[in-house]
Amino acid sequence: SQKKPLSGKNIVVTAGPTREKIDPVRYLTNHSSGKMGYAIAEAAKKLGGNVTLISGPVSIQPPAGVKVVKVESAEEMYQAVLKEYDHAQIVVKTAAVADYRPKYAADQKIKKQPGEEVLQLERTKDILYELGQKKQSQLLIGFAAETDHLEEYASKKLKKKNADMIVANNVKTEGAGFGTDTNIVTLYKKDGSVIELPLLDKKTVAMKILEEACLLLGANGE
């Protein structure tokens, strides 16, 4: 049988939201369902890859045959990705990682007080940026979830994070972004080329992203 395009390659995919603890009963999070990232893991597996799926808390089932690492916070996700990074050929950062976390996570439930409560936040690590800094020969693919100025922000992310491709989705568009089974994405590649995809099932979007990744790997001479 024909050799599959990703056989012998290690693919790391992050998916889902992160949870940033406020106290034992509360946290900050977002609307990521994990569907986009899980679809990428499934597509990478179909193409023959050894897939590690690093996932925040979601309610969907992982695809068969992939290694799943469950994490909660942005910091845990960072540590988990770093562990896999050196021996990865492709990293796809689909997760919706929190940019901020509570500065002080309380050990006890925070009790109601009269008046206003102010929650102090601090920045989490920008995982994609850190990976871009540590990049050797890995193909680094990030996402951009935007509500406006898609092209400008995606191009900026591509450069600033030293990524090879940014998959941009306008999360305000019907049928795109968080929670849906479909997505509308535009791929921005390092060589300046742009590929605009129509509304598609997330599984189809995932396959198209990985087909582009295979081309880029090929161009890197592997």
Return residues touching ligand PMT (CB under 6 A).
32-37, 74, 93-97, 99, 124, 126-128, 142-145, 157, 169, 171, 177-179
Return the number of the residue (59 or 108) whose C-beta is nearest ligand PMT: 59
Pairing of strands 165-170, 139-146: parallel
53 burial class (0-12, 13-18, 19+ CB within 10 angstroms)?
buried
Return the number of the residue (4 or 189) whose C-beta is nearest ligand PMT: 189
Distance between CA 35 and CA 197 in Å, rounded?
18
| E strand map for 96-202 | 100-102, 121-123, 139-146, 165-170, 182-183, 185-189, 194-196, 200-201
Min separation Cβ 12 and ligand PMT, Å: 12
- Is 30 a residue of the active site? yes
User: Which value, in Å, is the radius of gyration of the alpha carbons in the chain?
Assistant: 18
Min separation Cβ 30 and ligand PMT, Å: 8
* CB distance 150 to 158 below 8 Å: no
Return the number of the residue (23 or 186) whose C-beta is nearest ligand PMT: 186
Q: Which of 10, 30, 169, 170 is catalytic?
A: 30
84 burial class (0-12, 13-18, 19+ CB within 10 angstroms)?
middle
Min separation Cβ 103 and ligand PMT, Å: 16
Min separation Cβ 74 and ligand PMT, Å: 5
Return the number of the residue (91 or 217) whose C-beta is nearest ligand PMT: 91
Catalytic residue set: 30
